[in-house]
A and B are shown apart, each in its own frame.
Chain A
Amino acid sequence: MDKKYTGKTFTVEILAILLGLVFLVPFYYVFSNSLKTFAEILTNTSALPSVLQFENYINAFKQLNYLKAFTNSLIITVASNVVLVVFCSMAAYMLVRTKKKISNVIFMIFVAAMVIPFQSIMIPLIKTTSSLGLLNSVWGLVIMYLGFGSGMTIFLYHGFIKGIPVELEEAAIIDGCTPFGVFWKIVFPLLKPITVTVVILNSLWIWNDFLLPQLVLQDASLRTIPMATFFFFGQYTKQWDLALAGLVLSIIPLLIFFFSMQKHIIKGITSGSIK
């Protein structure tokens, strides 16, 4: 790590850029071919499109029922994040501040259950929750995300709240603040950094999740973006012009989210993984 920018560093830089381009090649192929006619995709896969075919996007947008799928994904992601942040921050706060055995036991159960892979739960989950009316409903799915996400979310909040001094809360209680008031007015604003991390990690997971919504939501009108892409790709296999335009449409929201929140995302992911 020399301070000077030497000829050697320049060589490394060129190599690194080439490697970066290799990483981007798949995106190039998908983007450029999504704007070609079917015949041109077959004959000229590597070249740039000769005439831009925006019809591909218009067709894919309609066939995917894109607006509906996007709205579904958005509602599910936002609602799940809200319930996860509200209920898990409250739970973690109480578990930290109640110095009793039961707090430790409950916390350990939440943490230990993070080990359970989804495949070990999904069969009874789908077969037994139908009796609770949670299947084929967006709200049912949101409750499921609360259940599945609670372990990780409580774990992250728990670690953060432990570092917050209790004196502030005690002063507020003496001033006659209710426990809810203490939590929402004093503690919750202090949790902002970890809330950002939690929301980013959960958003990426929920937005990209395929299997759970696929098992829970049966109505075509409830499909999320990954589900809609899955059915679309299955329906138009080898009809690359449509399939690729649909694929690009599915990727775009993620890229926008990434580039607008890049700093937070990288920070959130690094801190989330190390804990």
Chain B
Amino acid sequence: MNNIKLENANSPVIKDKNSAISTKASLKANRKFKKAGLFTLFVGPAFLAFAVIVLIPFFTGIYYAFTDWNGVTGNVAWVGLDNFKYLFTEDKQFQRSFLLTIKYTLVAIILTNVVGFGLALLVSQKLKTKNILRTVFFMPNLIGGLLLGFIWQFIFIKGFESIGSITGLSLFELPWLGDEKTAFWGIVIVSVWQGAGYIMLIYLAALQNVPQDIVEAAKIDGANKWQVLRHITMPMVAPAVTISLFLTISSSFKIFDVNLSLTNGGPFKSTEMLALNIYTEAFVNNRYGLGEAKALIFFLVVAAITIIQVTITKKREVES
């Protein structure tokens, strides 16, 4: 600012036409330079941190996926597709984790959305306790997965045993975390308990946007509750369904904390999901190259899910 003022003040003194033009040009260049400097000053710090922390590691990671890097020896050798070949032919644990994660994701998204939508319908009624109930249903979502896993470790080991002996229900007397099948359902229960309240909030916001006059009109025309739900509420809530589905898909696919603290992949690595498998490969087995190959596959799946999500949401926006 100061420079510009000075030059402006000087310019009337200069009588020569040519030099006046050159001052004008330098003024313009100066302004441009200033703008670029300002741009760098505003955007630079965030972008620098982002580049160093996210972009550079991401791209070097892709390179390391094709090497035998183990982090200890200095020399990193290019091995081409060997890591990927190994993963798909020999690494049975990786394949098991991959399939398990897909199975888990399917189960978790269905249950979380069904429970979440049910809760939203429930707390959108004219209940006296609806505000307290909203808080209660949402509360587990606030606490990180790690702590939730530990809470439920106690519930599954001691709480269920006690409930079982009081009620006599055999369901509670199973060795929940000690058995492959029930341990899987244990993880599902915890993540539904955690995620349903969050999904409830999204559906609730959508439900509150359903215009009541349409619902009233339908009722006057003789529609019953189910018909109102099926033909008015559901279509109006559809965009929220898309959002919720994809939120749960990517969070379920990336599950780590609950997996670590509840079962730690056990018993015998039977509940080890992909994110935990990558972590173990890299930081327990110290096979970084292999870990990176897994991480790259992991990224491709997550990216594919997100791209499909964005395309679908965009399409819907255009239609509506």
Contact = CB atoms under 8 A, between A and B. Distances in A.
Interface of A: 1-3, 5, 9, 12-13, 15-17, 19-20, 23-27, 29-30, 33, 41-42, 44-46, 87-88, 90-91, 93-95, 98, 102, 106, 109-110, 113, 115-125, 127-129, 132, 143-144, 146-148, 150-151, 154, 176, 178-179, 183, 204, 207-211, 215, 226, 229-230, 233, 240, 243-244, 247, 250-251, 254-255, 257-258, 262, 265-266, 269-270, 273-274
Given A9-B125, A128-B60, A266 B138 contact: yes
Given A148-B53, A211-B279, A117 B122 contact: no
A150 B64 contact: no
Contact of B201 (A45, A151, A269): A269
B interface SS class = helix
The secondary-structure label for the interface of chain A is helix
21 contacts: A1-B125, A16-B133, A19-B122, A20-B136, A26-B152, A26-B193, A90-B43, A106-B47, A113-B58, A120-B58, A121-B61, A123-B64, A143-B52, A144-B53, A148-B54, A183-B42, A208-B147, A233-B261, A247-B151, A266-B134, A274-B243
Contacts of A204: 142
B150 to A, nearest CB: 5
Interface string B49-60: 111111111101
Contact of A117 (B123, B127, B154, B299): B299
A14 to B, nearest CB: 10
B31 interface: no
B137 A20 contact: yes
A25 B142 CA distance: 16
Interface residues of B, number: 90
A176 B2 CA distance: 11
Contacts of A257: 142
Q: Which of B43, B52, B243, B303 has the most CB of A within 10 A?
A: B43
Given A122-B282, A270-B201, A132 B122 contact: no
Interface in B93-135: 119, 122-130, 132-135
Contacts of B136: 20, 23-24
Contacts of B138: 266
Contacts of A12: 122, 125, 127
A267 B23 CA distance: 54
Given A45-B162, A123-B292, A244 B126 contact: no
